Amino acid sequence: MTITGTRIRGGQVASTTIRIGREAMRDAGKSSAADVFRALPQNFGGGQNPGIGSNVPQGKGADLAGGASVNLRGLGSDATLTLLDGRRLSYDGALQSVDISAIPFAAIDRIEVVPDGASALFGSDAVAGVVNILLRRDFDGLEMSARLAGSTDGGNFQQQYGAAGGQTWASGSAFLAYEYARSTPITAEQRSYAAERTPGVTLYPSLRHHNAALTVRQEIAPGLQFDLTALFNKRWHALTAPLDESGDLAASRFEGRNSSESRALAPSLELELPAEWRIALAGSYGWNRVRYGGTYHYGDEAIDAGSGAYRNVTEAAELAGNGKLFDLPGGSAKLALGSGFRRNRFERVSSRGASERIDRRQDSYYGFAELSLPLVGPDMHAFVDRFDLSLAARTEHYPGLATVTTPKFGVIIAPTPDVSLKASWGRSFRAATLYEQYTPRSAVLYRAATLGGAAGTGTAILLVGGNAALEPERSTNWSATLALHPRSLPGATLELSWFSVDYRDRIVTPILFRSQALSDPIYRDRVTANPSEAAQAAALAEAISFINAAGAAYDPANVVAIVDNSNVNAGRQTARGIDVLGRYRFSIGAGTLTTTLNLSWLKSTQQIRPELPETRLAGTLFNPPHLRGRGEVNWNGGPFSITAALNYIGPVRDTRGSPAVRVDGMAPFDLTVRYRRPAGPGLFDGLDIAASGQNLFNDKPDPIATSLFLDTPYDSTNYSPFGRVISLSVTKSW
């Protein structure tokens, strides 16, 4: 059985691990991996996700082609390592996050989340944690599914159709799943809090996709097993935006049409050896291409807005083994070790010409080892039931850039079988992505007032782009967990975890809000005031494009500042908090009642430079709230199950102006009723019907101030415009 937090088969994990099974997802009315993570309190909706508004600061989130990513602790979707069956996938689009919506929901067996640094085990990107999506394998039969859903306020009409089939035999198995889905957009006119403030704006795009997943497992010879995971996804993304404040789309509009295609192939061979050892040779190939383009419409006139594409390729090979070393009083000492190679390639092409082209690759070589030492076992000591120690280390070499070594230590002490104390400490890192390093610089001319300067005719030049001198980001992580699993209360567990991430050399665009670039003294080292004409010419010469958004002709004499918002290694970012995970399952009447609780409290800060003060992140606009939670009650009796869930997304403060303004949170309530019959020869045998209401009481996001007519009038990283969503799904199995 795969355990995400360790490379040792059957190893113990000293960090909190969240497991969500397929039946729990379906009981809760979820229909995609993206749905599951939207409800996970440890996850933040910023990053690369559909519906991210244009007013979200660069680096906090974007929506290019409708892909959905995981962003644990709000540290960035590129700081969460996302795996499929324990293997890396290719990045998706410009932000180089992994698209979890590319996986057919019918193919998912379970999801495991370890919200703790794990670079000592898995390498780059595992700073905030690791997500492992595991696919179904041992399935015999065929199932067909259909789902219809829609928002009662309008828009977001969803259609989802799928098919899955599998076969097992004495020496192996095969499973194949396919899914087609589409949804209509949500426009500002369909939401009371946006209709008058941002007319014509698309709040959530139109999406359509085909995807498929394949798993194969075959014993080639006694003790030698072949395994294969394959994935295909094709997605289309469309939105419309007005070109002036009137929102009259008939008069003028922009129509964006983007698409994404991805493939993944991950074969492996595993050989069983004596002394409980196994050696595996594994390879993986991932390919992703995002195409973007659009058209400007002015009445009957259509003007091409330009087009382009991003392509990401990931290739990897690894030889690894794990098994028993020797016996200890508490059990067998075990070791895992391995070495591998990974190559990432990033390419960008644009209709604007060769100056915007990027074609770069980055190689890395690594070796790792993990040791598990069960020092004390049950019944050995009166005051210690179990004492396990784990040690891990990994060295990763990036030729011409850096060599990074990351250790991790874990300890599990159980004074009694009812109580466990777990602690972990380690270092993690994230290598700069090729996009962050090599994306060409561009320049935009704004009115100075737009960037926080004085009102008037003055203008300012904003520079954005990559930085080839970026260093790896590095973090120090620790966590401590108290786990209660009393024998006197079977079915009950409670975990309280304290966590800390000290993230150094964080790669960010240093100016969080462009509207404060010229007014907040924290950004003074990024500003060149009253630049000479020669300084302006030098800055523009480094840029591949110059966009005039000032509403007036460029005049060097009117430029009061140059603002450099290119990527830098920021001084420091921290995330600290508490997770509470509880579960209690017991019999009631003819069925069982399961209650679950997941609470996450977060405090995070950012320090742009060591000599500058810290700024708050958690609890402020376009950052995670301090508190998120989900409580769920599931009753399962015979063919029926009922699941009720209360989600809580806490408030944030809008600190863009003075005084700061409170933005209220949301508390959506979900209810799902499910009826299912076992497979059989009858017409209604194998039938599974679920009716669900997500956000049943139609809670709405609190409006926020906007400065441009394209701005989304709410915090689109935290609060959803879906409103009440009613769905009906039917699955038939044979």
Residue written as token pair 């933005």: 663
φ and ψ at 185, to 5 degrees? -75, 165
Residues linked to residue 291 through DSSP beta bridges, in sequence order: 259, 309
E strands in 188-251: 202-204, 206-221, 224-242
659 preceded by a cis bond (ω within 30 of 0): yes
Percentage of the chain beyond pLDDT 90 is 77
Closest CA relative to residue 507, chosen from 123, 41, 127: 127
- Whole-model pTM: value is 0.90
**pLDDT value of residue 261:** 96
**pLDDT value of residue 354:** 73
Contact at 8 Å (CB) between 388 and 6?
no
Question: Within its chain, how far is the Cα of 725 from the centroid?
Answer: 23
Going by their DSSP bridges, the two strands 358-376 and 419-430 should be labelled as unpaired
- Residue 651 pLDDT exceeds 70: yes
Closest CA relative to residue 465, chosen from 441, 493, 481, 433: 441
**pLDDT value of residue 182:** 97
Q: Give the whole-angstrom CA distance, residue 584 versus residue 586.
A: 7
pLDDT in tens, 283-334: 999 999 999 999 999 999 999 999 999 999 999 999 999 999 999 989 999 9
Mean pLDDT throughout 91-112? 91
Domain ranges in the chain are: 18-165+180-432+470-517+565-733
**pLDDT value of residue 2:** 60
pLDDT in tens, 596-609: 999 999 999 988 77
Percentage of the chain beyond pLDDT 70 is 99
- Residue 483 pLDDT exceeds 60: yes
pLDDT in tens, 484-517: 999 999 999 999 999 999 999 988 788 877 888 9
More confident residue, 634 or 401: 634
**pLDDT value of residue 671:** 98
Q: Which two tokens stand for residue 118?
A: 């794990």
pLDDT band at 670 (very low <50, low <70, confident <90, very high): very high
E strands in 550-590: 559-564, 568-588
Contact at 8 Å (CB) between 400 and 432?
no
Q: Give the whole-angstrom CA distance, residue 625 versus residue 617.
A: 9
pLDDT in tens, 409-450: 999 999 999 999 999 999 999 999 898 888 888 899 999 999
- Residue 382 pLDDT exceeds 80: no
- Domain 18-165+180-432+470-517+565-733 architecture: Beta Barrel (2.40)
**pLDDT value of residue 3:** 67
Closest CA relative to residue 100, chosen from 178, 48, 29, 174: 48
If you average pLDDT over every residue of the chain, what do you get?
A: 93
Phi-psi bin for 452: left (phi > 0), alpha (psi -120 to 50), beta? left
Going by their DSSP bridges, the two strands 559-564 and 459-464 should be labelled as parallel
